[in-house]
Structure 1
Amino acid sequence: MATSIQQTLIEQTVQAVKELYAADIPAAQITLQETRKEFEGQITIVTFPVTRFSKKSPEQTGTEIGTFLKERISSIADFNVIKGFLNISLSDAYWIGLANTSMLEDNYGKFPANGRKLMVEYSSPNTNKPLHLGHIRNNLLGYSVAEILKAYGYDVIKANLVNDRGIHICKSMLAWQKYGNGETPESSGLKGDHLVGKYYVIFDKEYKKEIDALKAEGQLEEEAKKNAPLMKEAQLMLQKWEANDEEVIQLWKTMNGWVYAGFEKTYKQLGVDFDKFYYESNTYLLGKDIIQEGLDKGVFFKKEDNSVWIDLTDEGLDQKLVLRGDGTSVYITQDLGTAQLKYDEFQMDESIYVVGNEQDYHFKVLFLILKKIGKSWAEGLFHLSYGMVDLPSGKMKSREGTVVDADDLMQEMLETAKTRTEELGKTDDFSEEEKADLYDTIGMGALKYFLLKVDPKKRLLFDPNESVDFQGHTGPFIQYTHARIKSVLRRADYSSSVAVVNPEQLSVYERDLINALSNYPAILETAAKEFSPAHLANYVYEIAKIYNKFYHEESILKAEDETAKIFRLHLSAISAKVIAESMRLLGIRVPERM
């Protein structure tokens, strides 16, 4: 989003080229960027594209344009030219005016409704085991993207497609039936999702024993896997489920109920929510109508065994099965049907699927098929692909030895936050309830910030200890900065209703802070357009750093006069507001004190 000063600079640079060099340059060719820290100025105009009209050196061209702009724009205090870069210094009056206008508004940085509807689908858990570290990144990413897009003006629907059926669900059901002795979450003291996950692991162990026994009898491994009695029983259970067998359906409902109660607790602690749940048990038969539509349009073709395929070799992909020869669905069949179901229900303009990058190929095929069939809304589909999360070996224990459980990780984060905070002696005057809330705020803030500050596409290494650092590039550092600002405002008994008297001039620290705060709407827009909370996460860290520099270099409560004191309190209040709102969009709470 171009601010008014940026727009003015672009328009006047176009005019300068017209008047100085009798040439027309498109506004799109005028490049503005933030001035590098080692040079004077705040906004830089790249003059290289103009030299083909001026027929002069970049330095001379920059000087001529700079002189033209300074005469026309009162907000420009000075300029300097470094090679092909024209660095503009804006006046103190401009920055003071900025701090006293839009930044004062309650809705600063929020965009008006744009009339577009968008769905963000995330989480998508299986009901045979608890959520794990990968799910945490998925949930935090989906939630934050949804909140950022809301602030950007979209009408957002948060959706969760639950994988609640299939052979993997039957495995945990069968193991509980055979080995569970009626165990329940209440009798075991386990969260429901952990209890069901326990039996999924038991199935796997018993299944491997049967495979080994059959191999010892001379069967090959693939043969043994198919012939193992447990697998045959699980497949029979799935057939009974699909035939709506009363006993199997009742067990499925009971065990899924345990899982949902467990998920609900995990979601609550993670601080994520959903507007709409879809269940694979209701959608797995969808899509066959779309297959027929594709056959009628010649998009699909049948093979001799009656299976239905699409040929995507012209798009650099391959042939893809979309319906088995016996008429049963494959995974993409139901995804086609679910996409149509979601659009029919909400008529959204865009739909974002938050799914790991191992599914990149699947979504390329899915979107391509929908476009080829002629679904106009398929142009609005987007796969928000993200990388895996790794942990330093030995840092975390997991129940199954391979996957890091989400609840275990969150508990470890709380304990780490408690230890670190108590070491610093910052909670001596807190009640036990206040301490518990603070440890949760810091621990979850550390986890969320560490996962969201990295571009979603990148694989990341999550170090729980490094994330709870009050001085590093972390959530707790930003939270501590917010608490520091709030402490200053409390001690000053600051009220936003106090009239601000403008100082005659600004220090470099005040100007840097106003400049950084003024970038908030543009950063929010970038984060929304790129579906990347990382932009906002890294921006709010910069705000915290710049504020702390301002805090250390400028006296606030003991300022040289009342005008300076009130103005600096005013800047502090804006800083707190921008930090709190940025962190809220990341799903992170900020404490009033710590």
Structure 2
Amino acid sequence: MADSSIQQILVAETVNAVKSLYSADIPDTQISLQETRKEFEGQFTIVVFPVTRFSKKSPEQTGQDIGEFLQNAIEDVVSFNVIKGFLNVVLSDDYWIKLLNNTISSEEFGVFPATSKRIMVEYSSPNTNKPLHLGHIRNNLLGFSVAEIWKAYGYDVVKANLINDRGIHICKSMLAWQKFGNGETPESSGLKGDHLVGKYYVEFDKAYKAEIETLKADGQTEEEAKRNAPLIQEAQQMLQKWEAGDEAVISLWKTMNEWVYAGFGVTYNSLGVSFNKFYYESDTYLLGKDIIQEGLDKNVFFKKEDGSVWIDLTSDGLDEKLVLRGDGTSVYITQDLGTAQLKFDEFGMEESIYVVGNEQDYHFKVLFLILKKLGKAWADGLFHLSYGMVDLPSGKMKSREGTVVDADDLMAEMVETAQTRTEELGKTEGFSDEEKQALYRTIGMGALKYFLLKVDPKKRLLFDPNESVDFQGHTGPFIQYTHARIKSILRKADYVDTNTTADIKNITVFERDLVQALGNYPNVIAVAAREFSPAHLANYAYELAKLYNKFYHEVSVLKADDAVEKAFRLKLSFATAKIIKHSMNLLGITVPEQM
């Protein structure tokens, strides 16, 4: 029985109980099963209120009937109690011992069997005119973690990055470098390529604002000055040349983009994220026009007198939406329609996830609705993983340009903070300098990632670097330290994992609670995948670490009363460390072997 899901068995036998006791058929979806609240005896609770319409008895008597049925039908149900309309089921110690030995300790535990289904997770999507910032960090961590969770859930996963490498903003950096750069390169300046290009984007903005002020002083309005400033006109001309294939402009564009990609590569490597497929807007910006024609042919779109193409979504509670300008040029939605089709044509995935901030909620509602109206069967598999902004306590972080917090600066500062806190606590005794640096990096990056992933993606969050590196709080370092503590115990015991433990008969409540939490791990992965929320996994890892620390303080592992107890507790410790490591890896977080 330990190899089957006890939850499934309890539900199935409850259905049988209703049929046998009350001659009624009830679908298993109507059986509500949950973990028993800690103040009551039992591990699983069945809500019996919905059954009273068949039993014609009080909730208490109905619970008593079903409890007796389950105790007779399921060997591992040793007792039960009824509190009002809640039937609390108590499972035997033997069930939990077998669960640890036969299921949790297997190599496959926590990894779902591979399916033939495929999912694409598109995340990061940076502009090539500036470096990545704090908002990009949340985006990248969410995308990478969701991809890893779906991989564990049995899907073939494609991690995609659509890079915005064309447009007026790119030309601004190029033009400023031409005018003010004096041939500066990443090599000559010592700057990462993305930082160098971002520097010239800022230089453009400064010079452009100065021109606007000059024109306003000459009597032009704000809007006229913004339009007529020589710099913006030159940038627009550069974009036209780029679109016309001007060799000199294209050459400069390629050079500066390569600088940026090299810089992004360093940042991605530091963040620990990766991609299987890159799309570039310079390749996709002309896509979608075929789909516009298809929509006109199907009367999904309509033309206005100026030749522009629209869709009327007012009956869906949205607006009229422009999908192609009157001069035949694309708007963002045009190329997004085309890129969605391209992605499906290339990979044929069942699900396609867009990790994009919540300021784009309306855009994705429109995009997905248009694709459904066009009859794209795959449109039902599209999902916008919308996430909230990240705020910082004011003055806590330096920012390169005074407006946004640079990703590289933030990561460096997190490692510094981790070093300070770790040294204060004296957790690096016996470490070489190289090992210390690796540990500071592991803790600093673990603190950053965990803090950003433990919150539901939809919520805006306040990131406090100091709070995140707390070895006692709801943090990554607390979980990392728990893992290191378990590994230390296992080393002291010279523990070698085996698939069975000595013939233990009884376990404490602390051991049982820990086994129950471990047994729930696959369910947590499934929920985190289906809800596109790494927060479920992050909070599970924290609760598991807390349970282990409670177990460690309440029962002796290395000085257990006998060899049988010691073997079981070491095996339980080993399984806990394995699940902590696995769950944290799905969040992109490394756990140290010692600290």
Q: TM-score, normalised by structure 2?
A: 0.99
- SS of structure 2 residue aligned to 1:115: coil
State the Cα distance separating 1:113 from its structure 2 match: 1.1
- Which residue in 1 is equivalent to 2:403? 402
How far apart, in 2, do the equivalents of 1:108 and 1:434 lie? 31
CA contact (8 A) 2:106 2:499 kept: no
Distance 1:557 1:12 in 2: 40
What's the secondary structure of 2:386's corresponding residue?
Answer: strand
- Residue equivalent to 2:371: 370
**Quick one: distance in 1 between partners of 2:38 and 2:580?**
22
| 3-state secondary structure, aligned to 1:159 | strand
Indicate the larger mover: 577-586 or 97-106: 97-106
Query: 2: CA distance between counterparts of 1:396 and 1:443?
Result: 15
CA distance in 2, matches of 1:335, 1:6: 43
Given that 1:387 and 1:456 are in contact with CA atoms closer than 8 Å, whether structure 2 keeps it comes out as yes
Name the amino acid aligned to 1:228.
A
Partner of 1:176: 177
- Per-residue deviation at 1:4? 2.1
Q: 2:422 — aligned with what?
A: 421
Counterpart secondary structure, 2:413: helix
Q: Render the CA deviation track for 1:5-26: whole Å, top value 9, x for unaligned.
A: 1111112111211222222222
Name 1:468's counterpart in structure 2. 469
Separation (CA, whole Å) in 2 of partners of 1:3 and 1:359 = 44
Using the alignment, how far apart are the partners of 2:549 and 2:249 within structure 1? 61
**SS of match in other structure, 1:101:** helix
Q: Distance in 1 between matches of 2:28 and 2:498?
A: 41
Residue type at the aligned position of 2:496:
S
d(CA) in 2 for partners of 1:540 and 1:269? 23
DSSP 3-state at the match of 2:158: strand
Work out the CA distance in 2 between the residues paired with 1:20 and 1:46. Answer: 17
Match of 2:99 in 1: 98
**One-letter amino acid of the structure 2 residue matched with residue 309 of structure 1:** W
Shift in Å at residue 283 of structure 1? 0.5
After TM superposition, the structure 1 stretch with the greater mean CA deviation from structure 2, 499-508 or 521-530, is 499-508
Question: What code does the residue aligned with 2:51 have?
Answer: V
1:327 matched residue in structure 2: 328
How far is the alpha carbon of 1:505 from its aligned partner? 0.5
- The aligned residue for residue 337 of structure 2 is 336
1-structure distance, mates of 2:459, 2:544: 24
Residues 424-435 of structure 1 mapped to structure 2, 5 A cutoff: 424-435=425-436
1:160 and 2:155 aligned: no
Deviation at 1:27, TM superposition (A): 1.4
State the alpha-carbon separation in 2 of the partners of residues 575 and 428 from structure 1.
25
Q: 1:529 to 1:252 in 2, by over 3 A?
A: same
User: Matches of 2:309 and 2:8 in 1, distance apart?
Assistant: 54
The 1:537/1:434 distance shift into structure 2, 3 A limit, reads: same
Name the SS of the counterpart of 2:140 in structure 1. Answer: helix
In structure 2, what is the equivalent of residue 487 of structure 1? 488
Match of 2:298 in 1: 297
Residue equivalent to 2:257: 256
- Please show how residues 127-142 of structure 1 align to structure 2 within 5 Å: 127-142=128-143
Q: Is the 8 A contact 1:32 1:45 kept in 2?
A: yes
How far apart, in 2, do the equivalents of 1:565 and 1:283 lie? 62
Corresponding residue for 2:443? 442
Contact 2:325 2:331 in 1 (8 A): yes
Give the distance between the partners of 1:304 and 1:130, measured in 2 at CA. Answer: 43
One-letter amino acid of the counterpart of residue 234, structure 1: A
The one-letter amino acid of 2:129's match is N
Q: Structure 1 stretches (4+) deviating beyond 6 angstroms? A: none
Q: Distance in 2 between matches of 1:204 and 1:429?
A: 51
After superposition, the C-alpha distances for 1:369-405 in whole angstroms (9 at most, x for unaligned) are 1111111111111111111111111111101111111
Structure-1 separation of matches of 2:157 and 2:19: 44
Contact 1:10 1:27 in 2 (8 A): yes
1:515-534 paired onto structure 2 within 5 Å: 515-534=516-535
Structure 2: distance between partners of 1:321 and 1:338: 17
Post-superposition CA distance 1:16-49 (Å, at most 9, x none): 1122222222211110001011111110000110
User: In 1, Cα distance between the equivalents of 2:80 and 2:415?
Assistant: 51
Letter of the 1:201 counterpart: V
The answer for the alignment partner of 1:51 in structure 2 is 52
Is 1:244 the counterpart of 2:245? The answer is yes
| In structure 1, distance between residues paired with 2:14 and 2:471 | 45
Alignment match, 2:313: 312
Whether the aligned pair in 1 keeps the contact of 2:105 and 2:499 (CA below 8 Å) is no
Question: 1:223 aligns to what?
Answer: 224
Q: Give secondary structure in 2 for the equivalent of 1:310.
A: strand
Query: Are the equivalent residues in 1 in contact too, given 2:101–2:499 (CA < 8 A)?
Result: no
Letter in 2 for 1:331: Y
Q: Which residue of 2 is the match for residue 234 of structure 1? A: 235
Conserved 8 A contact 1:162-1:279:
yes
C-alpha separation in 2, matches of 1:247 and 1:499: 70
Report the Cα distance in structure 2 between the residues aligned to 1:482 and 1:542, rounded to whole angstroms.
Answer: 13
Number of the residue aligned with 1:82 = 83
For 1:103 and 1:19, locate their aligned partners in 2 and report how far apart those are by CA, in whole Å.
34
Do 1:127 and 1:164's aligned partners in 2 also have CA atoms closer than 8 Å? Answer: yes
1:181-215: CA deviation from partner (whole Å, max 9, x where unpaired): 11111111111100100110111111111111111
The secondary structure found in structure 2 opposite 1:78 is strand
- Residue 575 of structure 1 aligns with which residue? 576
CA shift, 1:499, in A, is 4.7
Map 1:12-31 → 2, pairs under 5 A: 12-31=13-32
Matches within 5 A, 1:121-132: 121-132=122-133
- 1:384 aligns to 2:368 (yes or no): no
C-alpha distance in structure 2 between counterparts of 1:584 and 1:27, whole Å: 34
| 1:481-509: CA deviation from partner (whole Å, max 9, x where unpaired) | 00000000000000013751132201010
Q: Which residue of structure 2 aligns with residue 67 of structure 1?
A: 68
CA contact (8 A) 2:101 2:500 kept: no
CA shift for structure 1 position 58: 1.1
Distance in 1, matches of 2:16 and 2:157, equals 41
| Superposed displacement of residue 57, structure 1 | 1.4
1:247 alignment partner AA: A
1:360 matched to 2:361? The reply is yes
Report the Cα offset of residue 447 of structure 1.
0.3
| Structure 1 runs not aligned, ≥5 long | none
Cα distance, 1:541 vs structure 2 = 0.5
What secondary structure does 2:346 align onto?
A: helix
Shift of 1:361: 0.6
Conserved? CA contact 1:96–1:502, under 8 Å:
no
Residue 592 of structure 2 aligns to which amino acid in structure 1? P
Cα distance in 2 for partners of 1:333, 1:388 equals 27
Equivalents in 1 of 2:581, 2:107: separation in Å?
13
Output the TM-score relative to the length of structure 1. Answer: 0.99
Is the contact between residue 393 and residue 463 of structure 2 (CA under 8 Å) also seen in structure 1? yes
Could you list the per-position Cα deviations for residues 49-72 of structure 1 after superposition, in whole angstroms to 9, with x for gaps in the alignment? 011111221111111211121122
Deviation readout 1:221-250 (Å, 9 max, x if unpaired): 111100000000000000011111111111
Alpha-carbon distance, 1:3 to partner: 5.8
Q: Distance in 2 between matches of 1:504 and 1:22?
A: 39
- Distance across 2 between alignment mates of 1:10 and 1:512: 21
Q: Deviations over 1:90-130 (max 9, x none)?
A: 11011011011011111211111121011100000000000
1:166–1:498 Cα change, 3 Å: closer
Q: Is the 8 A contact 2:368 2:379 kept in 1?
A: yes
Taking the aligned partners of 2:377 and 2:419, their CA distance within structure 1 comes to 52
Structure 1's 499 and 348: CA in aligned 2 closer, same or farther, altered over 3 A? Answer: closer
Q: Which amino acid aligns with 2:135?
A: G
Output the amino acid matched with 1:401: G
Alpha-carbon distance in 1 for matches of 2:145, 2:492: 33
**1:536 alignment partner AA:** L
Cα separation, 1, equivalents of 2:112 and 2:12? 24
Q: Could you tell me whether the CA contact under 8 Å between 1:70 and 1:78 is conserved in 2?
A: yes
Identical counterparts, % of pairs: 77
Query: Which secondary structure state, in structure 2, belongs to the residue aligned with residue 100 of structure 1?
Result: helix
Distance 1:272 1:111 in 2: 22
2:512 match: 511
SS of residue in 1 equivalent to 2:352: strand
Structure 2, gaps ≥5 residues long: none
